[in-house]
Structure 1
Amino acid sequence: MLVPDPGGWAVLRNRDVRLLIGARFLTGLGYQMQAVAIGWYVYDLTKSTLALGLVGLAAFLPAMVSALFAGHVADTRDRRLVAAMAYAVLSLAALGLFASAVIGSQVVWPIYGLVIGTGIGRAFANPAQQALLPTLVSREQFGSAVAWNASIWQSSSVAGPAIGGMLYVLGPAVVFGTGAATFALASCLIAAVRHRPEPLTERPRVTWAALSAGLSYIRSQPVVLGAISLDLFAVLFGGATALLPVFAAQVLHVGPLGLGVLRSMPAAGAVATAIVLAWVPLRRQAGKRLLIAVAAFGLATIVFGLSTNLFVSMAALFVVGVADMISVYVRQSLVQGETPDAMRGRVAAVNTVFIGASNELGEFESGTLAALVGAVPAVATGGVATVLVAIAWARFFPALRSRDQLMQG
């Protein structure tokens, strides 16, 4: 039986939580607007699906390279200031994109460089922000806090692509300039959080053991390992985001405004699901529901890949967002809720790499495969692979499959 959680609304009465999720919203808004503009800008310059894939690779590599150090920083420095400085880096990278668009550059490699700069900022922002949230609420309110945080992020993902598509009509420089402003404001909001961590009596040395503690923890927790690796491979194979400009231009023929709408649909499904989960948290059969959601993600991806109707494609992407939100909710609750505070940053950093691999690296995989076999076969095949991954993980990770309650203890 689904029972509403009375703490769902109380979470939002916490000033620090409001500031945190406000910064999260602005960052998501700027990033999603920028993603639409970069995708269309690069495709307009190159007419290459491989070039779109390289955008995803450029966004992912900084997170992979700096993950362990970023997590260590989040655990040994003031997480508010780490996130604020990282958001400032995002603003500077957006200003670089703004300058490139203003001068009308026809060279694509500087865009990749600025995407790498954005990736560096996100690599440090995500672990600090994720590790900060559990310290702002009680354990009883944590599930609702995760859902509200995800809901706000996904709300920005609904608005961001649509706004980005509309602003792109005025030119890419308008989108990039607006993104720079949102990142700067997010930096100010996160810096205003009043929470102060306990001061460290002795700052840990930067050793391999300290840097890799997050990896060691995840390996020792089969449920956590199963949840985040499931997300990694499912979205790695099933992600179609990088190819949306191709589907908008060549399959559905809807232009940049239609591209913004298509990019918004997964987020619309996700935010609707997150709001439900904030009020009615998952209480039983969490593992089975996670596996079913991933399989549904794959099936919806297949439908999108084969569709030539805009409304069918929108509906399929909406279901993709619903399924992905359930996966995010379960994974984030497990990772953040069961990890000791002293190493939350390092574990969150590893989790960020998994997320980045499943999104940005998935975009590279999709773009490369599409260059070889075409966009439609690439997306449909990826959806099939995602369904197979869900079936395989149900067998390989019995502890995840049998996990009943989401939060134990």
Structure 2
Amino acid sequence: MTRPESAGYEYDVVISGASLAGSAAAILLARRGVRVALLERRSDPEAYKVLCTHSLTANAYPVLDELGLVPAIEEAGAVRNEARWYTRWGWIEPRAAPKGPELPYAYNIRRSTLDPLIRSRAAQTPGVDLLLGHQVTGLVREAGRTTGVRASTPQGEREIRARLVVGADGKDSAVAKFAGVPARQYENGRFGYLAHFRNLPLSGGIGQAWFLEPDMAYAFPNDDGVTVMAVLPGKDRLPAFRNDLEGSFLAFIRALPEAPPIDAAERVTKIIGTIDYPLHSRKPTAPGMALIGDAALTSDPLWGVGCGWALESAQWLSEAVARAATGRDDLDRSLAAYERRHRRQLQGHQHLATDFAKARPFNPVERLVFSAAARDASLARHMHLFASRLIGPPRFLNPAALAKAAAVNIKHRASATPPTR
């Protein structure tokens, strides 16, 4: 039984969190005839997430397209997120094949631009009530399932009942906490700091990432001529950063191969970051409840996948539960379908991310693939598909790809070996 008969529902779905995942889910559910209360604890409609890679990987493009946001974010100055990656074997530089289609892409766009844009679209969507200044303080429970939320509002405490409660409230999800859904945590062996620079030229005018084994860095060009520059060193370097954050941050960037000329650019933000950012995952469903975005799974920020997965999980949930949320299907069965898809799509990616978050050098398989991708255009494109989260680990590391990588490296070594006399 998935609907307690005594529950009087004000909405079909209550979503806690009106950032990317929550706003996208509200739009997609409402378009399917679902009545949605979209709760946001902050009262400012222009509020945005500050600590972020500000990048939407290419797997998010179909969701942006379904939301109708592509023209708006391009008009707002979003930059297509082409990138090149430094390794000890040289640069991996994915390019479209001759006479082939262009490489898949999405966008780099600052959250100060993107968050208010998607939240505004949600507020304008028929069937969505955006309720600002509403912070979830507890869940309404009946017959062992969640049937609503209690919220602190500008007008006082309020109870809102719904068939489904969705936690889109980030890695420290209050909805998950109140529902008793534990998080499985994985240590991150790196810490991270970033700052925004204006008029920072990058090689080729595209994003750059540095795999320094184990340290990392990236530079992503964004809207309005602003580039996000981030460093992610191993924690053995933390004492130096604590002693002199600005000096250590700038020195780290200056020492990068083909380092961006930050001293000639204008830094327009403070240096911000975190010294402890564990990865975590939660079971994304419980009776009457679902989790999306970082509330369900938080990955390593060095990969820049969080925004894309937030949008994808919102889409997966809306496709799975829309009929059930309006009482036309079984909600528990629909939630189970969402959970299976979430696990199938993201579990393998997260497994690799948690292993690499140990801040270790490349393992033998990574050395094989990264070195070959620096030497072969087709393998560089193959890596681009994986970095864009358009293919999963089984396809990325399939036997044919590994065999080709081995052949590329053997040929390279043969050509580099001087002939014997």
TM-score, normalization by structure 1 = 0.26
Q: Which has the higher contact order (CA 8 A, sep 6+)?
A: 1
Q: Which has the higher strand share?
A: 2
